Amino acid sequence: MVEEILPPVVVAVEAFDDPPGVPLFPEEEAVIRQAVEKRRREFTTARHCARTALARLGLPPAPIVPGQRGAPRWPAGVVGSMTHCAGYRAAALGHARELVTVGLDAEPHAELPRDVLPAVSLPGERRRLGELTAARPEIHWDRLLFSAKESVYKAWFPLTGRWLGFAEADVVFEPGTASFTARLLVDGPAVGGVRRGEFRGRYLVRDGLLVTAIAVLPG
Protein backbone atom coordinates (compact mmCIF):
# COMPACT_ATOMS: atom_id res chain seq x y z
CA MET A 1 0.00 0.00 0.00
CA VAL A 2 2.53 2.60 1.12
CA GLU A 3 4.84 2.01 -1.84
CA GLU A 4 2.15 3.63 -4.02
CA ILE A 5 2.95 7.04 -2.54
CA LEU A 6 6.74 6.78 -2.44
CA PRO A 7 9.32 7.06 -5.25
CA PRO A 8 11.02 3.90 -6.56
CA VAL A 9 14.30 4.60 -4.73
CA VAL A 10 12.48 4.03 -1.43
CA VAL A 11 11.97 0.45 -0.26
CA ALA A 12 8.76 0.20 1.76
CA VAL A 13 7.71 -2.81 3.82
CA GLU A 14 4.43 -3.02 5.73
CA ALA A 15 2.60 -5.47 7.98
CA PHE A 16 -1.03 -5.72 9.00
CA ASP A 17 -0.44 -8.07 11.91
CA ASP A 18 2.42 -9.04 14.23
CA PRO A 19 4.26 -12.20 13.15
CA PRO A 20 5.27 -14.39 16.10
CA GLY A 21 8.83 -15.14 17.09
CA VAL A 22 10.51 -12.09 15.57
CA PRO A 23 13.94 -11.71 17.22
CA LEU A 24 15.33 -8.43 18.52
CA PHE A 25 18.92 -7.36 19.01
CA PRO A 26 20.04 -7.05 22.65
CA GLU A 27 20.21 -3.26 22.28
CA GLU A 28 16.56 -3.24 21.21
CA GLU A 29 15.50 -5.60 23.99
CA ALA A 30 17.04 -3.18 26.47
CA VAL A 31 14.86 -0.36 25.13
CA ILE A 32 11.56 -2.21 25.66
CA ARG A 33 12.43 -4.42 28.61
CA GLN A 34 9.73 -2.75 30.73
CA ALA A 35 7.25 -2.12 27.89
CA VAL A 36 3.67 -3.39 27.89
CA GLU A 37 2.78 -6.08 25.36
CA LYS A 38 1.13 -3.66 22.90
CA ARG A 39 4.22 -1.47 22.78
CA ARG A 40 6.47 -4.52 22.41
CA ARG A 41 4.48 -5.78 19.42
CA GLU A 42 4.53 -2.38 17.69
CA PHE A 43 8.25 -1.94 18.30
CA THR A 44 9.16 -5.46 17.18
CA THR A 45 7.09 -5.59 14.00
CA ALA A 46 8.20 -2.13 12.88
CA ARG A 47 11.81 -3.29 13.19
CA HIS A 48 10.99 -6.51 11.38
CA CYS A 49 9.70 -4.33 8.50
CA ALA A 50 12.82 -2.18 8.64
CA ARG A 51 15.20 -5.16 8.55
CA THR A 52 13.28 -6.64 5.64
CA ALA A 53 13.77 -3.32 3.85
CA LEU A 54 17.49 -3.36 4.72
CA ALA A 55 17.78 -6.79 3.15
CA ARG A 56 16.07 -5.56 -0.02
CA LEU A 57 18.60 -2.74 -0.14
CA GLY A 58 21.35 -5.37 -0.02
CA LEU A 59 22.37 -4.53 3.55
CA PRO A 60 22.83 -6.75 6.61
CA PRO A 61 20.45 -6.69 9.59
CA ALA A 62 21.27 -4.15 12.28
CA PRO A 63 19.80 -2.93 15.57
CA ILE A 64 17.53 0.10 15.24
CA VAL A 65 17.25 1.91 18.56
CA PRO A 66 15.76 5.29 19.38
CA GLY A 67 18.13 8.21 19.36
CA GLN A 68 17.58 11.92 19.96
CA ARG A 69 13.88 12.69 20.57
CA GLY A 70 13.09 9.06 19.81
CA ALA A 71 14.12 9.21 16.15
CA PRO A 72 15.46 5.87 14.88
CA ARG A 73 19.23 5.56 14.55
CA TRP A 74 19.79 3.99 11.14
CA PRO A 75 22.92 2.21 9.91
CA ALA A 76 25.48 4.41 8.18
CA GLY A 77 24.43 5.31 4.66
CA VAL A 78 20.72 4.61 5.28
CA VAL A 79 17.82 7.04 5.47
CA GLY A 80 14.52 5.82 6.84
CA SER A 81 11.27 6.29 8.70
CA MET A 82 8.93 3.96 10.59
CA THR A 83 5.32 4.15 11.70
CA HIS A 84 2.72 2.06 13.48
CA CYS A 85 -0.92 2.29 14.47
CA ALA A 86 -3.65 -0.22 15.26
CA GLY A 87 -3.49 -2.95 12.60
CA TYR A 88 -0.59 -1.47 10.67
CA ARG A 89 3.21 -1.19 10.86
CA ALA A 90 5.56 0.03 8.14
CA ALA A 91 9.09 1.14 7.37
CA ALA A 92 10.45 3.11 4.40
CA LEU A 93 14.21 3.08 3.74
CA GLY A 94 16.66 4.16 1.08
CA HIS A 95 20.35 4.63 0.45
CA ALA A 96 21.54 8.07 1.55
CA ARG A 97 23.10 8.59 -1.88
CA GLU A 98 19.62 8.37 -3.42
CA LEU A 99 17.40 9.79 -0.70
CA VAL A 100 17.87 12.93 1.39
CA THR A 101 15.11 12.30 3.92
CA VAL A 102 11.81 10.46 4.27
CA GLY A 103 8.86 10.89 6.61
CA LEU A 104 6.14 8.27 7.00
CA ASP A 105 3.03 8.19 9.18
CA ALA A 106 -0.07 5.99 9.42
CA GLU A 107 -3.24 6.58 11.40
CA PRO A 108 -6.64 4.95 11.78
CA HIS A 109 -9.09 6.61 9.42
CA ALA A 110 -11.25 8.16 12.12
CA GLU A 111 -12.12 11.61 13.38
CA LEU A 112 -9.62 13.25 15.70
CA PRO A 113 -10.78 13.78 19.28
CA ARG A 114 -12.52 17.15 19.36
CA ASP A 115 -9.96 18.85 21.59
CA VAL A 116 -6.95 17.75 19.52
CA LEU A 117 -7.53 19.65 16.26
CA PRO A 118 -7.09 23.17 17.73
CA ALA A 119 -3.80 22.04 19.26
CA VAL A 120 -2.32 20.71 16.01
CA SER A 121 -3.65 23.14 13.39
CA LEU A 122 -3.59 26.75 12.30
CA PRO A 123 -6.76 28.83 11.77
CA GLY A 124 -6.25 28.78 7.99
CA GLU A 125 -5.85 25.03 8.01
CA ARG A 126 -9.10 24.59 9.96
CA ARG A 127 -10.90 26.80 7.46
CA ARG A 128 -9.61 24.73 4.55
CA LEU A 129 -10.50 21.50 6.36
CA GLY A 130 -14.08 22.72 6.56
CA GLU A 131 -14.12 23.27 2.82
CA LEU A 132 -12.60 19.86 2.14
CA THR A 133 -15.07 18.14 4.45
CA ALA A 134 -17.98 19.80 2.66
CA ALA A 135 -16.65 18.61 -0.72
CA ARG A 136 -15.34 15.18 0.32
CA PRO A 137 -17.09 14.15 3.56
CA GLU A 138 -15.98 10.52 3.22
CA ILE A 139 -12.44 11.51 4.32
CA HIS A 140 -11.53 12.49 7.87
CA TRP A 141 -9.42 15.48 6.87
CA ASP A 142 -8.62 16.41 10.45
CA ARG A 143 -6.86 13.09 11.02
CA LEU A 144 -5.16 13.39 7.64
CA LEU A 145 -3.81 16.80 8.63
CA PHE A 146 -2.43 15.35 11.85
CA SER A 147 -0.74 12.55 9.90
CA ALA A 148 0.72 14.93 7.33
CA LYS A 149 2.26 17.03 10.09
CA GLU A 150 3.75 13.91 11.67
CA SER A 151 5.34 13.05 8.31
CA VAL A 152 6.64 16.61 8.00
CA TYR A 153 8.32 16.34 11.39
CA LYS A 154 9.85 12.95 10.59
CA ALA A 155 11.30 14.36 7.35
CA TRP A 156 12.45 17.56 9.07
CA PHE A 157 14.18 16.23 12.15
CA PRO A 158 17.01 14.19 10.54
CA LEU A 159 17.98 17.29 8.55
CA THR A 160 17.94 19.73 11.46
CA GLY A 161 18.06 17.89 14.78
CA ARG A 162 15.49 20.43 15.96
CA TRP A 163 11.91 20.25 17.16
CA LEU A 164 9.19 21.45 14.76
CA GLY A 165 5.90 22.40 16.35
CA PHE A 166 2.50 21.78 14.79
CA ALA A 167 2.07 25.55 14.33
CA GLU A 168 5.36 25.84 12.42
CA ALA A 169 4.15 24.25 9.18
CA ASP A 170 1.08 25.20 7.16
CA VAL A 171 -0.33 22.19 5.25
CA VAL A 172 -2.43 22.52 2.10
CA PHE A 173 -4.06 19.42 0.60
CA GLU A 174 -4.52 18.91 -3.14
CA PRO A 175 -7.26 16.26 -3.46
CA GLY A 176 -6.99 16.04 -7.23
CA THR A 177 -3.51 14.56 -6.93
CA ALA A 178 -3.81 13.05 -3.43
CA SER A 179 -0.88 15.22 -2.38
CA PHE A 180 -0.07 17.99 0.07
CA THR A 181 2.37 20.83 0.53
CA ALA A 182 3.71 21.85 3.93
CA ARG A 183 5.03 25.42 3.97
CA LEU A 184 7.56 25.84 6.75
CA LEU A 185 6.95 28.89 8.93
CA VAL A 186 10.46 28.78 10.38
CA ASP A 187 13.83 28.68 8.64
CA GLY A 188 14.00 25.42 6.76
CA PRO A 189 16.95 23.06 6.39
CA ALA A 190 19.58 23.48 3.69
CA VAL A 191 19.38 20.65 1.16
CA GLY A 192 22.09 20.57 -1.48
CA GLY A 193 23.10 24.09 -0.52
CA VAL A 194 19.56 25.41 -1.04
CA ARG A 195 17.34 26.49 1.84
CA ARG A 196 14.14 24.43 1.74
CA GLY A 197 10.96 26.32 2.59
CA GLU A 198 8.48 23.52 2.07
CA PHE A 199 7.98 19.78 1.89
CA ARG A 200 5.73 18.05 -0.59
CA GLY A 201 4.08 14.73 0.19
CA ARG A 202 1.38 12.31 -0.85
CA TYR A 203 -1.41 10.54 0.98
CA LEU A 204 -3.52 7.41 0.68
CA VAL A 205 -6.83 6.54 2.36
CA ARG A 206 -7.82 2.87 2.19
CA ASP A 207 -9.20 -0.02 4.26
CA GLY A 208 -9.76 1.98 7.42
CA LEU A 209 -6.26 3.51 7.35
CA LEU A 210 -4.67 6.66 6.10
CA VAL A 211 -0.99 6.99 5.28
CA THR A 212 1.08 10.07 4.50
CA ALA A 213 4.62 10.18 3.16
CA ILE A 214 7.29 12.69 2.23
CA ALA A 215 10.42 11.75 0.30
CA VAL A 216 13.09 14.30 -0.61
CA LEU A 217 15.48 13.26 -3.38
CA PRO A 218 18.88 14.82 -4.15
CA GLY A 219 19.00 17.62 -6.66
- Check residue 70 and give its pLDDT: 86
- Check residue 114 and give its pLDDT: 85
pLDDT surpassing 80 at residue 219: no
DSSP E strand boundaries for the chain: 11-15, 78-85, 88-95, 101-108, 169-174, 179-184, 190-191, 194-195, 198-206, 209-216
202 shares a domain with 126? yes
- Check residue 61 and give its pLDDT: 96
pTM score of the predicted model: 0.95
Give me the domain span that covers residue 152.
105-216
Average pLDDT taken over every residue of the chain:
96
pLDDT interval class at 16 (50, 70, 90): very high
Segment 19-43, tens digit of pLDDT:
999 999 999 999 999 999 999 999 9
- Check residue 92 and give its pLDDT: 98
Long-range pairs of 109-117 with CB within 8 A, sequence gap ≥ 24:
109/139, 109/140, 109/143, 109/205, 109/208, 109/209, 109/210, 110/140, 110/143, 111/140, 111/142, 111/143, 112/140, 112/142, 112/143, 112/146, 116/142, 116/146, 117/142, 117/145, 117/146
Mean of the pLDDT values across residues 135-143?
97
118 shares a domain with 33? no
Q: Give how many domains the chain has, as a whole number.
A: 2
85 shares a domain with 155? no
Nearest to 187 by CA among 160, 214, 211, 208: 160
Q: The domain that contains 9 carries what CATH number?
A: 3.90.470.20
Q: Where does a domain end: 81, 98, 115? A: 98
143 shares a domain with 119? yes
Q: Where does a domain end: 98, 124, 141? A: 98
Q: The domain that contains 138 carries what CATH number?
A: 3.90.470
Mean of the pLDDT values across residues 160-170?
96
131 shares a domain with 68? no
121 shares a domain with 72? no
Mean of the pLDDT values across residues 88-92?
98
- Check residue 194 and give its pLDDT: 84
25 shares a domain with 78? yes
- Check residue 68 and give its pLDDT: 86
79 shares a domain with 120? no
111 shares a domain with 89? no
For the chain, the distance separating the N- and C-terminal CA atoms, rounded to the nearest angstrom, is 27
120 shares a domain with 83? no
Segment 48-89, tens digit of pLDDT:
999 999 999 999 999 999 988 889 999 999 999 999 999 999
- Check residue 193 and give its pLDDT: 81
Q: What percent of the chain has pLDDT over 70?
A: 100
pLDDT interval class at 109 (50, 70, 90): very high
161 shares a domain with 85? no
Mean of the pLDDT values across residues 136-144?
97
- Check residue 192 and give its pLDDT: 78
- Check residue 69 and give its pLDDT: 84
Sequence-separated (6 or more) residues with CB below 8 Å from residue 87: 16, 17, 108, 208, 209
Q: Where does a domain end: 54, 81, 98? A: 98
